[in-house]
Amino acid sequence: MTAVDAPAPEAVPDDWRAPTLSDAEYRWRARRYRFRTVRRAAGFLSPYLIVWGVFLAIPAVWGIFLSFNQGGLIKGDPRVFVGFDNWTRTVSDSELRTAVKNTSIYVLIAIAVVFTLAIFLASLLNHYKKGSNFYKVALYFPLLAPPILGALMWFFMVNFDFGILNLIKRTVIGGDGIRFLGDNPHALLTIVAVEVWRGLGFWVLFYLAGLQSVPEELQAAAKVDGAGKWRRFRRITVPTLRPLLLFALVIAVIFNFQLFDSVQVLTDGGPRLGTATVVWFIHKRLFKFQDTGLAYASSIGLLVVVLVLTALSFWLLGKRRQREA
Amino acid sequence: MARDVTTDPATLEEAPPPEATDDATAMAARLAEAGRAKRLNERTRMILAYVVLTLFVVIAIGPAFYLISPAFRDSVSLFTYPPEWIPSEPTLDNYRFLFSSTSYVRWAINTLIFAGSTTLLTLATNTMAGYAFARLRFPGRNLLFFVILATLMVPVAAVLAPTYLTVNTIGDWPIIGNWIDIDTYLGLILPSAVSPLGVFMMRQFIETLPDGLYEAARLDGAGEWRIFTKIVLPLIKPALVVLGIFVFMLTWASYLWPLVAATDNEFRVLTVGIASLKGQFVTDWGILAAASLLTIVPVTIVFLFFQKWFVQASMAGALKQ
Amino acid sequence: MAEVILRQLTKHFGSVEAVEDVTLRIPDGEFLVLLGPSGCGKSTILRLIAGLEDATRGEILIDGELINFKDPTKRNVAMVFQNYALYPHMTVYKNVAFPLETARMAREEVAEAVQRAAEMLEIEALLKRLPEQLSGGQRQRVALARAIVRQPLVFLMDEPLSNLDAQLRLQTRLELMGLHERLGITTIYVTHDQVEAMTMGQRIAVMKDGRIQQMGDPTEVYDVPANTFVATFLGAPPMNLISGSLERDNGQVSFRFEGYELAVDPATSVIAPDTLEEAVGEAQLGVRPEHLTLASPDAEGLPGVVRFLEPVGSDLFVSVNVAGHAVQVRMPPDTQVSTGSNVRLAFDPARSHIFGADSQNLRS
């Protein structure tokens, strides 16, 4: 039926109206024709899907299975199925509890500080535009260095003997230096400072972009109406930024909850677990090969927390889009 | 109606009520004075603002400068008090040591291979997938996209063990195991090229290209691959650059996965390598400073040339627009 | 060059019926215009033929070959888009050469073909430019060159003139007609502009709500509109329609409205007597403005009062109130008439139309 005879329209004028294909054949060929898009899509998708599937999707699912097991990460340490044992112990393990506590404290302080500073600096840059490009670039600088290097730079800054912070302290206030990384709670606060230093530039640019989306006319109108600076900030700037703020908050929690690099290189969790974080805990347990089961279970816990927060961020982003539309 | 004549509403706030004086010249003088006071106030505020901004800039870039002095001196001289800012005997010993007695060069090369390949792989796979999601109609498209997008934020740590096991398991397989294993380049690279951020970005970007272009190209006889390479790729170059910088920066800075996947010094990357220079108990500060400084300088130079792209790339990660 | 046949072509987008049961045959070399308001499905028909949409039902044949299940890349039809869809990153030369290079034609042949097309459309001087450096009219030409360069079987044009200014539109219209004459390629041209349709189309298919309302050569469609939609869509100002009813008294059918009565003679109105008998009931009387004349109040015809005068230079349009209906009359520009005056409207029954309750023209 593929070769259709061309009707001779002049000879048999109305013959051309009759359909060539039966309904059944038409449907079958239509389906086969539509299927070509699947073949094409498969061609374009498979490179990514293979990498993603093998190295992310399958491991994620495997991880759930692993959380009911102990060991199996290296040869000589066979995997043993332990049921819900790991999960019950996540609740009671004191080291993990400390790690979660530290991480939460860190997340709270770091985000509060970095957001406050970022919004403050962003509004300054938004107002004083002269040379703002230089300031933006300079503030962005810490992001260039890998977290490890950023942390190492601060390793010099906070050194007990020659760190500039202690030099200043000794000169200005007097007395002995501060053991920034050797005492609690200084160590965790130092980690906070390092991470705030690293992230500040990003969030300044982030909020600056948000501020610049506040309509200029709105500001001008409020000014004409005699609204003071603080009032304008509260009544116009904050409402405009609020959807952005919530989204940013969720994203920041997701990122900061994974704190690891600077902890690993600066304090390795110490002193006395004072800077132990969740990811540090997972890494430690996995690759010191002690109680890997607990690490398996906490990995999945982390995964669930992040997935929930991701869903929340999408929801917030969707709401923001809706509002803009 | 006099209010309308004054153009600057700010001046008005400070102005005395009109009935205070009938004398027009006195009134003008007072207005001018108020304006001056206001302007003075403005100026102090501005100076204050720039002082604050500058302070933060010093904090932002200061730590990098604080590495310079230790990098060019003997570690022992660091501990003298009062501190000696400019080394009396500057030396390149730290660098000599770095190049001769550590694998710094090897690490740097590995980092380039690692970040470069990951970037290229990500660009290729993500752009193709983004194209499929943006332009091709196939059943289950939205569901698949949603599932992939759900993994956008999955932390490396959360899948560290199973990913390690996956790579390890593949390593035991014949032939392919020679290429993909712990302590191989591919074992390091492939799990680093999984993030769907680029798929999402590329889909968004390709969707903004007008439909007419695809339709015209199809009627001109071009198949999907030809449309992709001849029409789409040239038109999304800016997005490719942004994504490329973003992925490269993220990859070369990454630490956790390289830490466990490349333990052999032959495959170790800079972040892991430099971190290993900081000893567990004793640190050779000079070498640490030298290595850190040497690593930051080239990135900074590249950044200063392409700063516009960098900033866009970092924003792309968060705002995705 | 090819004959195009559409058989019961139907396209639904969800619950929207974009194209409904369209059957038509376009002989080889014809210039067919699909005319209709926006959203009537005319563009969808083009996209179905091109393969940019898949039909829900029905068949498309080019030269007798069923092409429904043939990829658009292989259908060998060319389309000119409303916004031209030039590749912004390619020079004009590259744009025009793209279909040929896609077909893996040899480099010299490509150059030759591009040159020929460029000459035909007078864009030789522009070949090295980028689309963004061209004016609207020039882009239009480049789009046309890209379409003709590979000598397609069928030419599809989707409102190609709508982005041009009025003067350029007129000029391009003539050029398109010349081009069609020269190349003789079967062309399907979509527009909502009745002037374009009337002047360019060898045949016109008037569409509404996904269905073809009437198909025929321009004069036929204009002179004997199949229904009230076609009657009012073509012509500016449109045909006057007066609602009333057909009633029968002692074997004589007449059209009545608001107390007026007009006898309808099947012979002069060109209506089959049986059809007229069947149509008794609600009806509309239709007369084009140019077929009405103003007569003095004591003459024969429908009485009315002049409301507005619209002199447009070549004509004088007179709006007359006839029992609450506004009726447009086209008169010579020098007609002496003033608003408020009583007039009578006379017309030739042979030039008038009666539309039945189903809005169809009763004429056979």
Q: What is the 3-state secondary structure (H, E, C) of chain A?
A: CCCCCCCCCCCCCCHHHCCCCCHHHHHHHHHHHHHHHHHHHHHHHHHHHHHHHHHHHHHHHHHHHHCCEECCCCCCCCCEECCCHHHHHHHHCHHHHHHHHHHHHHHHHHHHHHHHHHHHHHHHHHHCCCCHHHHHHHHHHHHCCCHHHHHHHHHHHCCCCCCHHHHHHHHHHCCCCCCCCCCCCHHHHHHHHHHHHHHHHHHHHHHHHHHHCCCHHHHHHHHHCCCCHHHHHHHHHHHHHHHHHHHHHHHHHHHHCCCCHHHHHHCCCCCCCCCCCHHHHHHHHHHCCCCHHHHHHHHHHHHHHHHHHHHHHHHHHHHHHHHHC
- pLDDT score for B280: 64
State how many domains chain B has: 2
Q: What does R_g of chain A's alpha carbons equal in angstroms?
A: 30
Asked, for residue B315, whether it belongs to a domain, the answer is no
Last residue of a domain, one of B61, B95, B111: B61
Q: Exposed/middle/buried for C209, CB within 10 Å: 0-12, 13-18, 19+?
A: middle
Tokens in use for C64?
């007798």
Upper half-sphere CA count for residue A287 (Cβ side, 13 Å): 18
Contacts of C124 (CB under 8 A, 6+ apart): C115, C118
Tokens 């803009």 belong to residue: A324
Q: Do the Cβ atoms of B275 and A265 come within 8 Å?
A: yes
Mean pLDDT throughout B130-134? 95
Touching B (3+ Cβ pairs <8 A), the chains are A, C
Q: Do the beta carbons of residue B257 and residue B191 sit within 8 Å?
A: yes
Report which of B86, B125, B70 is spatially closest to residue B247, judged by C-alpha positions: B125
Name the pLDDT band for C269 (thresholds 50, 70, 90).
confident
> pLDDT at residue B16 above 70?
no
Name the pLDDT band for B23 (thresholds 50, 70, 90).
low
Name the pLDDT band for B320 (thresholds 50, 70, 90).
very low
Touching A (3+ Cβ pairs <8 A), the chains are B, C
- pLDDT score for B247: 92
More confidently predicted of B225 and B305? B225
> pLDDT at residue B314 above 80?
no
Least confident of A194-198, C62-66, C91-95, C300-304: C300-304
- Give the C-alpha separation, B116 to B104, whole Å: 18
**Beta-bridge mates of residue C260:** C257
> pLDDT at residue B18 above 60?
no
Asked, for residue B286, whether it belongs to a domain, the answer is no
> pLDDT at residue B9 above 60?
no
Which residues in chain A touch residue B156, judged by CB atoms under 8 angstroms apart? Answer: 258
Mean pLDDT throughout B272-276? 92
Tokens in use for B261?
């996947």
Q: Does A71 reach chain C within 8 Å, measured CB to CB?
A: no
How do strand C302-311 and strand C342-347 relate by DSSP bridges?
A: antiparallel
Looking at the fold, whether B114 and B234 belong to one and the same domain comes out as: yes
DSSP annotation of C192: S
Looking at the fold, whether B174 and B246 belong to one and the same domain comes out as: yes
How many Å separate Cα B255 from the centre of its chain?
Answer: 15
Least confident of C108-122, C220-234, C274-288: C274-288
Topology (CATH) of C4-232: Rossmann fold (3.40.50)
Q: Does A21 reach chain C within 8 Å, measured CB to CB?
A: yes
Kindly state the greatest CA–CA separation across chain B: 101
Q: Exposed/middle/buried for A121, CB within 10 Å: 0-12, 13-18, 19+?
A: buried
Give the closest-approach CA distance of A181 to chain B in angstroms. Answer: 13
Name the pLDDT band for B319 (thresholds 50, 70, 90).
very low
Looking at the fold, whether B237 and B146 belong to one and the same domain comes out as: yes
Element (H, E) at C342: strand C342-347
Residue of B nearest to C47 (CA): B215
> pLDDT at residue B10 above 80?
no
**Where do the domains of chain A lie, and which CATH numbers do they carry?**
15-66 (no CATH), 93-324 (1.10.3720.10)
- Give the C-alpha separation, C47 to C43, whole Å: 6
Which residues in chain C touch residue A29, judged by CB atoms under 8 angstroms apart? Answer: 68-69
Q: Do the beta carbons of residue C33 and residue C201 sit within 8 Å?
A: yes
**Beta-bridge mates of residue C60:** C6
How many Å separate Cα B108 from the centre of its chain?
Answer: 19
> pLDDT at residue C93 above 90?
yes
Q: Do the Cβ atoms of C69 and A32 come within 8 Å?
A: yes
**For chain C, percent of residues with pLDDT exceeding 70:** 99
Numbers of helices and strands, H then E, in chain C: 10, 20
Looking at the fold, whether B138 and B39 belong to one and the same domain comes out as: no
Q: Do the Cβ atoms of A157 and B319 come within 8 Å?
A: no
Which of B160, B199, B304 minimises the CB distance to A299?
Answer: B160
- pLDDT score for C297: 84
pLDDT tens over chain A, length 325 residues: 334 444 444 444 667 888 888 889 999 999 999 888 899 999 999 999 999 999 999 999 999 999 999 988 887 788 889 989 999 998 889 999 999 999 999 999 999 999 999 989 998 898 888 888 888 888 888 988 899 999 999 998 988 888 888 888 888 888 888 888 888 888 999 999 999 999 999 999 888 888 887 777 777 777 777 777 777 777 777 777 777 788 889 889 999 999 999 999 999 887 889 999 999 999 999 988 778 999 999 999 999 999 998 888 888 877 777 766 6
More confidently predicted of A112 and C261? A112
What are the Cα distances from residue C62, in Å, to A162, B206, C9, C55?
Answer: 86, 33, 14, 15
- pLDDT score for B4: 42
Q: Which amino acid is at B168?
A: N
Domain spans of chain C, in order of start: 4-232, 238-355
Whether the complex's predicted ipTM surpasses the cut of 0.85: yes
- Give the C-alpha separation, A82 to A293, whole Å: 9
Contacts of C53 (CB under 8 A, 6+ apart): C11, C44, C47
Structural domain span for residue B262: 103-277
Report which of C219, C193, C66, A282 is spatially closest to residue B155, judged by C-alpha positions: A282
Which of B212, B221, B234 minimises the CB distance to C73?
Answer: B221
- pLDDT score for A126: 86
Report which of B17, B33, B10, B35 is spatially closest to residue A228, judged by C-alpha positions: B10
Name the pLDDT band for B132 (thresholds 50, 70, 90).
very high
Least confident of A241-250, C61-70, C116-125: A241-250
Last residue of a domain, one of B38, B61, B84: B61
Asked, for residue B75, whether it belongs to a domain, the answer is no
Element (H, E) at C276: helix C273-278
DSSP annotation of C341: -
Name the pLDDT band for B15 (thresholds 50, 70, 90).
very low
Asked, for residue B154, whether it belongs to a domain, the answer is yes
- pLDDT score for B1: 37
Looking at the fold, whether B209 and B135 belong to one and the same domain comes out as: yes
What torsion, rounded to 10 degrees, do the Cα atoms C276, C282, C288, C291 define? 50
Report which of A323, A318, A294 is spatially closest to residue A91, judged by C-alpha positions: A294
> pLDDT at residue B12 above 80?
no
Which residues in chain A touch residue B138, judged by CB atoms under 8 angstroms apart? Answer: 37-38, 40-41
Q: Does A75 reach chain B within 8 Å, measured CB to CB?
A: no
- pLDDT score for A169: 86
Mean pLDDT throughout B215-237? 94
Looking at the fold, whether B263 and B140 belong to one and the same domain comes out as: yes
- Give the C-alpha separation, C280 to A253, whole Å: 78
- pLDDT score for A291: 85
Q: Do the Cβ atoms of A20 and C61 come within 8 Å?
A: yes
Asked, for residue B284, whether it belongs to a domain, the answer is no
Give the closest-approach CA distance of A136 to chain B in angstroms. Answer: 9
> pLDDT at residue B304 above 90?
no
What are the Cα distances from residue A113, in Å, to A126, A194, B50?
Answer: 20, 12, 20
Topology (CATH) of C238-355: OB fold (Dihydrolipoamide Acetyltransferase, E2P) (2.40.50)
DSSP annotation of C239: P
- pLDDT score for B75: 78
- Give the C-alpha separation, C152 to C138, whole Å: 21
Q: Do the beta carbons of residue C87 and residue C94 sit within 8 Å?
A: yes
- pLDDT score for C1: 57
Looking at the fold, whether B149 and B200 belong to one and the same domain comes out as: yes
In this structure, the number of other CB atoms found within 10 A of the CB of residue B66 comes to: 18
Q: Does C160 reach chain B within 8 Å, measured CB to CB?
A: no
* Cis amide prior to C297 (ω within 30 degrees): no
Tokens 């400070």 belong to residue: B14
- Give the C-alpha separation, B246 to B269, whole Å: 18
Asked, for residue B252, whether it belongs to a domain, the answer is yes
Tokens in use for B195?
């993030």
Looking at the fold, whether B130 and B39 belong to one and the same domain comes out as: no
Report for A289-303, B53-67, B120-134: range of highest mean pLDDT: B120-134
More confidently predicted of A227 and C175? C175
What torsion, rounded to 10 degrees, do the Cα atoms B108, B109, B110, B116 define? 100
Asked, for residue B268, whether it belongs to a domain, the answer is yes
Name the pLDDT band for C8 (thresholds 50, 70, 90).
very high
Asked, for residue B187, whether it belongs to a domain, the answer is yes
More confidently predicted of B24 and C131? C131
Least confident of A156-160, B160-164, C99-103: A156-160
Tokens in use for B166?
């996956």
Q: Do the Cβ atoms of A278 and B157 come within 8 Å?
A: yes
